Chain A
Amino acid sequence: MFYIYCPYCGEHREEEEFHPKGEAHIVRPEDPETCSDEEWGDYLFFRNNPRGIHHEMWVHAVGCRKFFNITRNTATYAILETYRMGEAPSITAESRDDRASLDAPAETETAENQEGVRA
């Protein structure tokens, strides 16, 4: 059960107040009519599903009704930041890679350890 900081309400709120809306930063092509079928298909259907850092759009549905973005680690469920629509994330998979030299072994081990089943 997430605890999500709404960047518009300025405080943490319970997950029940929010709805996830899929991957963030999907931009509708400026001129759809000149898109190839493949480009249009990419926009419509293809989404990233990374293990690790991911940017997601959420809406504070039972609250201010504003859409915003979350940078979340899909492996640990840690929410690293939330930011308003139109803003860029300060944490990305790339920015995390820069630091990877320091904690890469730990990350790998964690990932391995988190495989498997539960009773």
Chain B
Amino acid sequence: MSQPNRLARGGRLDRSRELSFTFNGQSYRGYPGDTLASALLANGVDIVNRSFKYSRPRGIVAAGAEEPNAVVQLGSTEAAQVPNVRATQQALFEGLEARSTNGWPNVQRDLMGVIGKLGGQFMPPGFYYKTFMAPASMWMTYEKYIRKSAGLGRSPMEKDPDSYDHVNRHCDVLVIGAGPAGLSAALAAGRSGALVILADEQEEMGGSLLDSRELLDERPAEQWAAAALEELAGLDNVLLLPRTTANGYHDHNFVTLHERRTEHLGETAPQAGGRRQVRSRLHRVRAGRVVLATGAHERPLVYGNNDVPGNLQAGAVSSYIRRYGVVPGNKLVLSTSNDHAYRAALDWAESGREVVAIADARPEPAGELVEQARAKGIRIIPGAAVLEARGQNRVTGARVARVDLEGFRVAGEAESLECDTIASSGGYSPVIHLASHTGARPTWRDDILGFVPNLVEGVLAAGGAQGVYATSDVLADGWSSGARAAGETGFDALEAQLPHVEARHESGSVALYQVPHEKPTLRGPKQFVDLQNDVTAAAIEVATREGFESIEHVKRYTAMGFGTDQGKLGNINGMAIAARCLGRSIPEVGTTVFRPNYTPVTFGAVVGRHCRELFDPERYTAMHQWHVEHGAEFEDVGQWKRPWYFPRRVEGRMESMHEAVARECRAVREKVGILDASTLGKIDIQGPDAREFLGRVYTNKWAKLAPGRVRYGLMCKDDGMVMDDGTTSCLGENHFLMTTSTGGAATVLEWLEVWHQTEWPELEVYFNSVTDHWATMTVTGPEARKLLAEITDIDLDREAFKFMDWREGMVADVPARVFRISFTGELAYEINVQANYALHVWETLFAHGEKYDLTPYGTETMHVLRAEKGFIIAGQDTDGSVTPEDLGMYWAIGYDKPFSWIGKRALTRPDTARTDRKQLVGLKPRNPEVVLEEGAQIVFDPDHAIPMPMKGHVTSSYYSPTLDSGFALAVVKGGQQRMGETVYLPMADGQVHEAEIVSPIFVDPKGERQNV
């Protein structure tokens, strides 16, 4: 297929080979060096999308990141789908498949368009808020409809075959943008020896130099750019990142750069050297200084039907012609307020096509470019502007008239000109998005008719981003910014070396945003301000009439600058219109700020390598391999993978969880079981004040715990609420080993440190984590002593090694510390060995354990067994609102300790001392087959009208094979005084369970079994 708009030569293309691609199912051809947008224009594709709200046909407007319309969906397969890609930023590659994101059933013949034309009136500004306010229950329905018709692309439904990653970088100077300012800044900083990163979002670095008409040192600008890049590439201290967008500026000069490494090569990353390539990469850059050389976006003018395909930015016309060898039409009308835009007319004329006229809003345009146009015989209509475009699916003409800018009115008879392209320019808006991410408001400058950034410490702006536009000034500004940035990070910049650029005589610009029309804005043809969000000048006027005076409110109300567009083309025009309607100046109206990201970033790049198997750390104990080999089902406890239960194959089928847990529970109560308890936090505490410290952080007493003994301890915050519990063993007078819950390990260590470091630095004590050093295996059950005796030299005699003692000795030929503590209520030994030996000791226990039916059990059985004994789990039976007294653990409260330990004072606060607080109790369901739901609410009167007063909730609930019944722990208001009473648990399905309040200790209340 031919490319009707492709020029015979010119452009930075490789014309030696053609690429084929499809758009909306239609095949086209282009060249390496094209963007998808330039290739579409070359092929004469006018309509690339349907608009968001009115479903009007839309064409390509811009050539860069500011493109509002050509937002496409990429991907030939489900897995390769990428939404929200700007066609102007997507390099063409062989086989590229793209689709419009809007338009149903297609962009050419759009059903929504019909509705849009009618429905536009029903979609006034604020239409979300007005139309869909009520009934609220219908919002989901509305939303579905809106999303279907609006559509900004969709996510892939299949697994992404590519990989992504993050790189953490640090540099002295980060230069963002590699146009004339950025290149110059990078040269200044790079030659000084500073570590420099130069990032640019385009396929090629060079920015405006790539389509400039100017000569630098007597050479075409692009040649100077090439030489500068070559020099920079040769510097070891400079990193060039092309195809890399600086998407967010975060605190303290932290900038995220999104590098698209293979997006220009294909829809999935090709292999390189037989290895997987990373498709895109997020650079997390911490820079000493940031130089924003982000340039400026040309502001289109706001006139009637300025959204019809064929309306373009003037600068984009030049880019397409000079950089891509594409002239996007045959007959051009240019509407401008300044000299710069004349380049479009000159380039157009030089490509051999007709420039119908230039409507120049200035009464007496006289700059050098103006003279060049005159010399080419191009008709210039002074003091005029395009009022309105003609055409439906493509511009067919322009109505041009003289305009009175002061009076905002049309000042003469309109003339109709036949054309297929209208280029417009209202001047430039500095790209201040990144500076705006800092939260700093930009400042309006009347002399450049734009906002310039207010810069926070460490950030500099150069060139167009600062409102400096003449090439020689831009180069000088870039150099001085780069030199200053290097200087501020400790490097001496060299003498400036800048290319010579012929100074050009310019005539001044005039302020023109919205072009007046013969009809009032509300009745005239639609004048679009924000093309992506379909916001018109009329909508802004309506918003101001409805009382929205703050620009932030106008923005919210109209949706101007929302979403992926971030107001790149429309914001300033919108503010100018609001200012006009409100009778204020633009700085009085102010501007909105922009939020990250500057352009859309794929989730792949955001997530990087933190996905799938590497989503989150999985912590394993030293026996993990054994658990895997023995079929354990695992439970996540914090980041640990703990065996949950060990299902066995019984009579040809796998046990259910219920069956496995019942079997494991019986094994512990009747014979012997073994648990991997390595995940418990372990803190080694040394120092002469260790004991004193324990007395302050635990609720109970530690003064008399002798070496060789172990004690249970309860820890509160200073508000009196339980935070963690565990056992602490006295290893020596000044030496203790504290254990914490699995999830509490890091918290408790930090807790000890904060008190030591901030309140009691005079106490001589050190805390060190030994959680990973020791592996812990709990051997528990009536046969535990017999089993352990087979492989240890420790005297296990019940008098020599009592309950709550610890001893050291050899277990399976490995030095071990053995603690006689019990979380099951049975005889139990916790064996601790250095983790590297753990698997050997574990397997030796099994070798000897066969005759005792040694049964491995997991966390679920552990939970059932401990709950039967009324042992709490901090964080399950407590939730930060439970005191030791609420738990009924008066025995663990040292009321008369000399130091006012953490949590003590709060226990006498009126609220903490209330008698109707939720207190821990046991619940026995009337129906033993019922296992209550954890979290279920408890009421006293099941016949009370809804809402029923809630009197407590279930914290732990299981089936007990020992009791052959469901049972639960719960917190109930005043529960300790309600033993024997019946409570009710109304469930969502309408059932109401009945349960009796009982003691939380269900099995062996006297603790005889663990003491044997």
Contacts and interface: CB of A to CB of B under 8 A. Distances in A.
B252 A44 contact: no
B562 interface: yes
Contact of B552 (A19, A76, A117): A117
Nearest to B441: A113
A57 B754 CA distance: 10
Contacts of B252: 1-3, 77, 79
A66 B250 CA distance: 26
Interface in A11-56: 14, 19, 21, 27-28, 31-33, 35, 37, 40-41, 43-45
Nearest to A78: B457
Contact of A119 (B595, B754, B909): B595
Given A28-B759, A78-B457, A118 B593 contact: yes
B785 interface: no
B251 A119 contact: no
B562 A119 contact: yes
A33 B251 contact: no
Contact of A59 (B253, B439, B590, B754): B754
Given A44-B718, A86-B761, A116 B592 contact: yes
Contacts of A37: 909-910
A91 interface: no
A86 B456 CA distance: 31
Interface string A85-119: 11000000000000000000000001001101111
Interface stretch (B49-57, B603-611, B899-907): B899-907
Contacts of A43: 718
Interface in B210-259: 250-254
Contact of B758 (A40, A57, A110, A117): A57
A10 to B, nearest CB: 17
A61 to B, nearest CB: 7
A79 B458 CA distance: 13
Chain B interface helix/strand/loop/mixed: loop
Interface residues on A, range: 35 or more
A67 B900 contact: no
A43 B556 CA distance: 42
A40 B906 contact: yes
Nearest to B904: A32
Given A3-B286, A35-B905, A119 B753 contact: no
Interface residues of B, number: 42
A1 B909 contact: no
B753 A31 contact: no
Contact of A28 (B566, B718, B719): B718
B348 interface: no
B965 interface: no
Given A3-B253, A28-B718, A119 B900 contact: no
Contacts of B761: 85-86
Nearest to A21: B754
B713 to A, nearest CB: 20
A58 to B, nearest CB: 11
A29 B342 CA distance: 75
B555 interface: yes
Interface in B516-560: 550, 552, 555-556
B561 interface: yes
B718 A76 contact: no
B594 interface: yes
B254 A1 contact: yes
B364 interface: no
B909 A77 contact: no
B906 A2 contact: no
B27 interface: no
B595 A61 contact: no
Contact of A41 (B254, B556, B909): B909
A41 to B, nearest CB: 7
A105 B555 CA distance: 27
Contacts of B593: 116, 118
Contact of A33 (B562, B718, B900): B900
Nearest to B559: A119
B441 A114 contact: yes
Contacts of A86: 761
B790 interface: no
Contact of B251 (A19, A28, A77, A113): A77
Contact of A44 (B440, B555, B906): B906
A85 B757 contact: yes
A87 to B, nearest CB: 12
Contacts of B750: 19, 59, 61, 65
Nearest to A66: B757
A2 B286 CA distance: 10
Given A57-B758, A119-B563, A114 B439 contact: yes
A4 B130 CA distance: 46
A14 B169 CA distance: 11
A113 B562 CA distance: 20
B590 A113 contact: yes
B182 interface: no
Nearest to B760: A28
A118 B251 contact: no
B59 interface: no
Contact of B567 (A31, A77, A85, A119): A119
Contacts of B441: 110, 113-114
A2 B251 contact: yes
Contacts of B909: 37, 40-41
Nearest to A45: B719
Contacts of A19: 750
Contacts of B254: 1, 3
Interface string B456-494: 110000000000000000000000000000000000000
Given A76-B456, A78-B457, A114-B441, A119 B759 contact: no
A78 B456 CA distance: 9
Contacts of A65: 750, 753
B900 A32 contact: yes
A32 B910 CA distance: 15
Contact of B286 (A14, A44, A57, A118): A14
A28 B761 CA distance: 13
Contacts of B906: 40, 44
A117 B909 CA distance: 42
A51 B183 CA distance: 40
Given A31-B900, A41-B909, A119 B757 contact: no
25 contacts: A3-B252, A3-B254, A14-B168, A19-B750, A28-B718, A31-B900, A32-B900, A40-B906, A44-B906, A61-B750, A65-B753, A67-B753, A77-B252, A78-B456, A79-B252, A85-B758, A110-B440, A113-B441, A113-B590, A114-B439, A116-B593, A117-B556, A119-B562, A119-B594, A119-B595
The list of the 10 closest CB pairs from A to B, nearest first, reads: A32-B905, A113-B441, A3-B252, A1-B254, A118-B595, A116-B552, A32-B900, A1-B250, A67-B757, A77-B251
Interface of A: 1-3, 14, 19, 21, 27-28, 31-33, 35, 37, 40-41, 43-45, 57, 59, 61, 65-67, 76-79, 85-86, 110, 113-114, 116-119
Interface of B: 168, 250-254, 284, 286, 439-441, 456-457, 550, 552, 555-556, 561-563, 566-567, 590, 592-595, 718-719, 750, 753-754, 757-759, 761, 900, 904-906, 909-910
Given A43-B718, A76-B439, A78-B457, 11 more contacts: A1-B252, A1-B254, A3-B286, A31-B900, A59-B753, A65-B753, A114-B440, A114-B441, A117-B552, A117-B556, A119-B592
